[in-house]
Amino acid sequence: MKSAAKAMQAEDTAETGAQQIRDAIREAIVERRLSPGTKLSESDVGNLFKVSRTLARAALQALSYEGLVSVEKNRGAFVAYPSPEEARQIFAARRLVEPGILREAAARITPADVKQLKQLLLEEGRLMSERGQTARRAEIKASGDFHLMLAEISGNAIMQRFMEELVARSSLVIALYGQSTASSCGHSEHGDIISAIESKELDRACQLMLHHIAHIETDLDLRERKSLGLKEAFEL
């Protein structure tokens, strides 16, 4: 699926160098190997990937357009640290677009798509029962892939790209404000949505999707964390 998405948008427009670095860093952010606020200096990134600062910079700029890193003038790039307000807007956007995407997807879905969705679900379940960091990370990715796949099925490349941005940023928000150590997404809810689509209960599928998103938000603690600056941190 990932490869399909890539193949669709690009042929030789592939900006080989920077693109690869961008993807690598994005993956690291989405899988939470990089924490919000981490500094990403151009030189460091360049050295790490064995390229010049030019390419490193281009990659960071690209990520800044996606909202995954914030670059501050003359200060450098950092893994984005979404504010509570930003977090709310990200999920508001998802509530706004995902039902619509779902409807589009349901209208065009093929048996092969359903099969692939269920495959994804299975894989997600398998990872959930596994222990270990790698499994956890793969699970995070898989749970986002469910939403992304619906966008892909919808057949609208623009909405697909937008969803990719939203899912990636959601991962950051959950990393920052998520409370339950449990997984990012209620796994069973994904299955329910597929069932509703299969039985053509479109309105119900949308309801389930909205509940699902609300459910994720419920697990967030969106109170302003004022950096708690060293003094307060120790005067208990």
CA–CA distance, 91 with 187 (Å, rounded to integer): 18
Strand ranges of the sheet holding 76-79, from the earlier edge strand across to the other edge: 39-40, 76-79, 69-72
Site string for DNA, 5-44 (x = CB under 7 A): -------x--xxxx----------------------xxx-
Q: Which residue reads 């003359």 in tokens?
A: 74
Beta-bridge mates of residue 77: 40, 71
Which residues, in sequence order, are CB contacts of 22 under 8 Å at separation 6+?
58, 59, 62, 63
The DSSP result for 54-104, as a single string, is: HHHHHHHHHHHHTTSEEEETTTEEEE----HHHHHHHHHHHHHHHHHHHHH
Least distance CB 215 / its own copies (angstroms): 20
216 counts as binding its own copies under rule CB under 8 A: no
Site string for its own copies, 40-79 (x = CB under 8 A): --------------x---x--xx--x-x--xxxxx-----
Asked if 58 and 130 count as a contact pair (C-beta separation under 8 A), the reply is no
155-184: which residues touch its own copies (CB under 8 A)?
Answer: 156-159, 162, 166
93 counts as binding its own copies under rule CB under 8 A: yes
Least distance CB 63 / DNA (angstroms): 13
- When the beta carbons of 67 and 125 are compared against its own copies, the nearer one is 67
CA–CA distance, 60 with 38 (Å, rounded to integer): 13
Site string for DNA, 41-80 (x = CB under 7 A): xxx-------xxxxx-x-------------x-xxxxx---
Binding site for its own copies (CB under 8 A): 12-16, 54, 58, 61-62, 65, 67, 70-74, 86, 89-90, 92-93, 96-97, 100-101, 104, 156-159, 162, 166
Binding site for DNA (CB under 7 A): 12, 15-18, 41-43, 51-55, 57, 71, 73-77
